[in-house]
Amino acid sequence: MPHKNATERRNYHKRYMRSYAIEKRARGLCRQYGCANRSDREYCEQHRARQLELNSRARAECYAGYGGKCECCGDSNPMFLTLDHRNDDGAKMRAAGEYATTLYRKLKRLGFPKTFRLLCFNCNCGRYRNGGCCPHEGQFQCASIT
């Protein structure tokens, strides 16, 4: 099969799925393919619960892949934990937001690369405000580095 057609078909499918989602949204319906439930959010109650379940499972798997605890202070409460990109603040912010699920899947696929690490919110934010190193290591110790 010619490569061009396969790509075109994939793009067509992508466009179709996107307009399908937008149309369902406009009609106040659940976004899940084949679901006709009304919804005032993106997904109906049933499929929203399913999405949340999938998200938290992907997160738990990813956290476990990174050792399951804060690399700095050892806190293992998943409610405090967050993924930290070692050299990029933008990715750190995105990891906490809506792209998280995509990121968890990607990291799993890549075998949990060491460019990311697990930190608790304290160590993550403290590090950011302290100019690159956690206040656990000494306050304002490296404030001049960044």
* Residues that bind Zn ion in the complex, under the rule CB under 5 A: 30, 32, 35, 37, 44, 47, 70, 72-73, 75, 120, 123, 134, 136
**Cα separation of the two ends of the chain:** 53
Q: 81: number of CA atoms within 13 Å, CB side?
A: 25
CB atoms near residue 110 (< 10 Å): 10
Of the pair 72, 107, the CB lying nearest Zn ion is at 72
Report the residue count for the chain: 146
Report how many helices (DSSP H) and strands (DSSP E) the chain contains, helices first: 5, 2
